Amino acid sequence: MLWVARDANPARALGSAPTECLRLPADRALAQRIEVGRAAFRTPLLLGGQAARAHITCETCHREGRDNPDFLFPGVSGAAGTADVTNSLFSTHRGNGIDDPKPIPDLSGSKAKLKIDQAPAAGKLEPFLHGLITEEFDGPEPPPAVLSGLAAYVRALDPAACPARPRQPLGVALLMADTRRGLAAAQGELAAGDAPTAIVMVASARARLGLIDERFAGPALATERVRLHDADTRLAHIQTALRDRDPHAGESIAAWLAASPLLQAGLEVKQPASLFDPQRLAAAAKRRLPG
């Protein structure tokens, strides 16, 4: 709520999300690479530093791979929908001491309007993304498969793939679907022997669970928060198992996925009592939005 314009429509800015313009190929290896990038796009772990502490992801500014006309981060944005990518708050490398916010580009719009040539033959997208992570946000060196996946994901965003419905409700189902996709990507990377990338995938799943947890506020939802905390703790243990090269880590991911429909069902029952509910969200936004 602190990152949107005070005159923003809460139902649009906080209660819904754009639909994703993603074209997945038939080639399974490329589809897996795209899923890796999609999950990495949605975790603060990728950016590290101040951005991670603020829970900022690539998807914060590029919601569902698009833009974010409601984004208004204090000290970083000018008008709504802009960001100063050379702000010293996030970067010790590229901070220039000048307030120069720029409009957030729509990554799912025309490729010709983007400043970086995305054609694989041009060889420009991967170095650009690497600089964005490690210099623009002071993030850690990403695993090679993560960087390759991010490039594949961005390239797969296609205006011709945009659904007819431009927006969708933001709720438990959407975020749980992201959680499962991240863990499925982790399974694929673990099968390929890439534990560092699998760890990033699990981090993405945990981040999406966190977006559910923050809306399940209040004593009436204490039981659901305990269930979310338990689910997150199991994912944290999976990350530890991956770091320790535990041969049973894959089994733990599969068990978590098998149990996830029951978790989702319980959360969806209580969703009307949470800040996913449009009326509750509007009331909370009225109390908390800046100004």
Q: What digits encode the pLDDT tens for the residues 169-195?
A: 999 999 999 999 999 999 999 999 999
Which pTM value belongs to this model? 0.94
Residue 10, sorted as left (phi over 0), alpha (psi -120 to 50) or beta, turns out to be alpha
Task: Name the percent of the chain lying above pLDDT 70.
Answer: 97
Residue 245, sorted as left (phi over 0), alpha (psi -120 to 50) or beta, turns out to be left
Residue 123, sorted as left (phi over 0), alpha (psi -120 to 50) or beta, turns out to be left
Residue 18: which of 59, 73, 54, 58 has the closest Cα?
Answer: 59
Q: What sections of 23-83 are H helices per DSSP?
A: 28-40, 49-53, 58-61
Tell me the pLDDT band of 8, cut-offs 50, 70 and 90: confident
Could you please report the per-residue DSSP string of 122-177? Answer: G--HHHHHHHIIIIIS-PPPPPHHHHHHHHHHHHHB-GGG--SS-EEE-SHHHHHH
Q: What are phi and psi of 166, to 5 degrees?
A: -75, -25
Query: 209 with 216: CB under 8 angstroms?
Result: no
* Count of positions (residues) in the chain: 291
How high is the pLDDT of residue 71?
Answer: 92
Tens of pLDDT, residue by residue over 18-29, are 999 999 999 999
Encode 199-217 in three state secondary structure.
Answer: HHHHHHHHHHHHHHHCCCC
Tell me the pLDDT band of 35, cut-offs 50, 70 and 90: very high
> Could you tell me which residue, 196 or 7, shows the higher pLDDT?
196
Check residue 2 and report its DSSP letter: T
How high is the pLDDT of residue 291?
Answer: 45
Tens of pLDDT, residue by residue over 41-95, are 999 999 988 888 889 999 999 999 999 999 998 888 989 999 888 777 776 776 6
Dihedral angle of Cα 59, 65, 68, 69, to the nearest 10 degrees: 180
